[in-house]
Amino acid sequence: MTIEIYAFPPSPRAFLAMALANHLGLDWTLRALDLPKGEHKTAEFAALNPNMRIPTLKEGDYVLWESGAILQYLAGKKPQSGLLPTDETGRLNVTRWQFWDACHWDQACAIYLFENFVKPVIVKGGEPDQAALTRGAELFHRAAKVLDGQLKRNKFVAGDRLTVADFSIGAPLNYAQAARIPLEDYPEITRWYAALRALPAWQKTLAQCGLPTAAAA
């Protein structure tokens, strides 16, 4: 049965689900919703996801929302991929980084994305709020130091193998230049993101999302 992914392709949260589905070679189809046009605020979509947020996954009668859970569901389709380890400590290690992403990394990156890109470029809503960016910098550097340290000792976020955590933590960095996310002091994050970006599925998804496909600077 085809997996339907409801997504707004420019969103990093959409990207991560699409990229993992591509990486796993799953049979999936995009149900594009234009967020600026409010296409997610319909009764039909609210019946699938009462939060009226993307990504949302549907396979037959089964519906799942929250990007981290969607990644686990997709990885479960191909357990042999190792993208979500099946042993308990391995799985919890990956899950730990997914929670870290949801609680720390995502919100720090989201401030840069919104203030430096979405607000001025997409919604033409005026200049960035400097107080928000100051708070973003505080959150970002605190989290980036942890991630850079982890990547100094490991090829990927959860160890020496690619996992679902790399997909979610890497996705906002597609906007690193456009959103002026300050990566200068984090060589390991830059090295790791370049490796993710070189994955064929990452490149394919960038193209599907209408994002530049050039190698990371």
Indicate the SS3 state at residue 173. helix
Q: Which run of H or E residues covers position 99?
A: helix 88-100
67 vs 150 by CB, closer to ligand GSH:
67
C-beta nearest to ligand GSH: residue: 53
Q: Residue 35 interacts with ligand GSH (CB under 6 A)?
A: yes
Rounded CA-CA distance 137/135 in Å is 5
Binding segment for ligand GSH (CB under 6 A), chosen from 47-55, 84-92, 144-152, 189-197, is 47-55
Chain centroid, CA 80 distance in Å? 22
Total residues interacting with ligand GSH, rule: CB under 6 A? 10
Q: Please report how close the Cβ of residue 19 comes to ligand GSH at its closest, in angstroms.
A: 14
Contacts of 213 (CB under 8 A, 6+ apart): 203, 206, 207
Q: Residue 133 interacts with ligand GSH (CB under 6 A)?
A: no
Q: Residue 66 interacts with ligand GSH (CB under 6 A)?
A: yes
Q: Residue 11 interacts with ligand GSH (CB under 6 A)?
A: yes
End-to-end distance of the chain based on CA atoms, in angstroms?
Answer: 39
Q: Footprint of ligand GSH on this chain (CB under 6 A)?
A: 11, 13, 35, 40, 52-55, 66-67
